[in-house]
Chain A
Amino acid sequence: DAGVTQSPTHLIKTRGQQVTLRCSPKSGHDTVSWYQQALGQGPQFIFQYYEEEERQRGNFPDRFSGHQFPNYSSELNVNALLLGDSALYLCASSPNGDRGLSTIYFGEGSWLTVV
């Protein structure tokens, strides 16, 4: 049973560029959330996708956008990259309709460095 898979694992981008990160959820999970974890901080919620729509969003600017595909996989796009966007980006999946009692499972993350 494959867990949450993310790609790429590491990437370096230049300020002003755009980046796309990809995530495949754990088998049986239909909800995908994205988190940003800066060095020395806990993960911060970016947004969540369910049924191909953004269901909730954290305090991130519109430069951060996403998409969910019919097979539940998801993409995170960041435009106009800033140095402060350098972080570990984590994808997490969970089953829907769990009444808030189940956990989320993280992928290995994508390390983004903006230079």
Chain B
Amino acid sequence: QKEVEQNSGPLSVPEGAIASLNCTYSDRGSQSFFWYRQYSGKSPELIMFIYSNGDKEDGRFTAQLNKASQYVSLLIRDSQPSDSATYLCAVRYFNKFYFGSGTKLNVKP
């Protein structure tokens, strides 16, 4: 069974701060890595994905991948109250996606 682990939180940060969300995965054969945001009562929406070691930036979001450590992170700069949601880490292994249970982020005004 492929495991994807996330701290359930909640992670609380003040508005304007950097939020750091972390995820570890068990299978070294995993091919690509995804971050989804899920508001309460809604379906997950894709924030960004990464498949090469290093950093990938998209606006206020930066995904970081370290395959040797089997570690993925998401940084949210200038956090806004609208960023308050559950963030799901997903790992793709061939045609299947494995999800963590998510980290709940609270951004306080």
Contact = CB atoms under 8 A, between A and B. Distances in A.
| Genuine A/B complex | yes
A100 B31 contact: yes
A87 B28 CA distance: 30
Nearest to A50: B95
Interface residues of B, number: 25
B95 A103 contact: no
Contacts of A42: 4, 88, 90, 99-102
B46 A103 contact: yes
B78 interface: no
- Chain A CB within 10 Å, residue with most, of B31, B46, B97, B98: B97
Contacts of B97: 33, 35, 43, 45, 92, 104
Contacts of B4: 42
Interface in B67-109: 88, 90, 92-102
8 contacts: A33-B95, A41-B101, A44-B99, A45-B96, A48-B95, A100-B93, A107-B43, A108-B42
